[in-house]
Amino acid sequence: MNKIFELKNVSVVYKSGENVAALKDVSLNIEEKEQIAILGPSGAGKSTLLNVLSGLECVTEGEVLYSGTSLYKLKERELSDIRLKKFGFVFQAFHLIPNLNVQDNILLPALTAYGKAEKEWFSYLVEKLQIDHRMNHTPGQLSGGECQRVAIARALINKPEVLFADEPSGNLDTQNGQAVFDLLFDYANENGKTLIYVTHDLEKADLAKRKISIKDGAIC
């Protein structure tokens, strides 16, 4: 197995009057094709760790390597290119664009990155996610479970090497929440990709091959 991520003494400090350390001297290696759950109490630093790994949040100290490349030494355009083409994101709040229909929401990353999308892959995703009949609807016309499935399709449209998910079932009922995790793991298993997700649910954490526990910004 090859290392896909390496964190070296990473700290993240928020400066807003009083300094708050969200991560404290975290060192961590993640291998290709790993399935990892990040868990811990509220405010422990779970989402911050996910954001640091995914290039969404700069570190105060330390270094984050992705496939041997130091993420935060890249120019913003280079970092954006990695996030767009190599990483996929599924968030608890969906973050769909309200004035775009389902089809356009899903296709947006592919059109931005490549100017087009793979038609067969798009068709496969919307059929597997059972949203093929919702293409002309806007997010406001969908249920929570449907919105999350659209968000997953959008995250997968560029066939990411790494799929990140931050409490992806937090706004869903038990049945829809389990369906979301089934889809995330199906993609990782069927395509040999890396899956890293944040959860407070111990049952969902047990689905992963490896668990990382965080408390007060440090790995336990």
Rounded CA gap, 184 and 152, in Å? 8
Residue 10 lies in a domain: no
What does the alpha-carbon distance between residue 173 and residue 169 come to, in Å, rounded to a whole number? 8
Let me know if residue 3 belongs to a domain.
no
Q: How far apart are the first and last CA of the chain?
A: 24
Q: Does some domain include residue 150?
A: yes
Strand locations in the chain (E): 3-16, 18-31, 35-39, 61-66, 69-70, 87-91, 162-166, 194-198, 210-215, 218-219
On whether residue 209 sits in a domain, the answer given is yes
- Helix, strand and coil content of the chain, in percent to the nearest 5, comes to 40, 30, 30
| Mode of pairing for the β-strands spanning 35-39 and 61-66 | unpaired
Tell me the two tokens of residue 153: 């399709």
Give me the number of domains the chain comprises: 1
Residue 104: give its domain's CATH number: 3.40.50.300
Q: Residue 39: beta bridge partners? A: 213
- The one-digit pLDDT tens for each residue of the chain (220 residues) are 699 999 999 999 998 778 889 999 999 999 999 999 999 998 899 999 999 999 999 999 999 999 999 999 999 999 999 999 999 999 989 999 999 999 999 999 999 999 999 999 999 999 999 999 999 999 999 999 999 999 999 999 999 999 999 999 888 888 888 898 999 999 999 999 999 999 988 999 999 999 999 999 999 8
3-state secondary structure 49-98: HHHHHCCCCCCCEEEEEECCEEHHHCCHHHHHHHHHHCEEEEECCCCCCC
pLDDT at 29 (0 to 100):
97
> Which among 155, 149, 196 has a CA at the least distance from the CA of 169?
149
Contact 12, 52 (CB under 8 A): yes
pTM, two decimal places: 0.94
In a domain, 129, yes or no: yes
Q: Is residue 69 part of a domain?
A: no
Assigned domain for 128 exists: yes
User: Do the beta carbons of residue 162 and residue 184 sit within 8 Å?
Assistant: no
* Domain membership flag for residue 108: yes
Domain that holds residue 201: 37-46+75-215
What is the CB-side half-sphere exposure of residue 168 using CA atoms within 13 A?
32
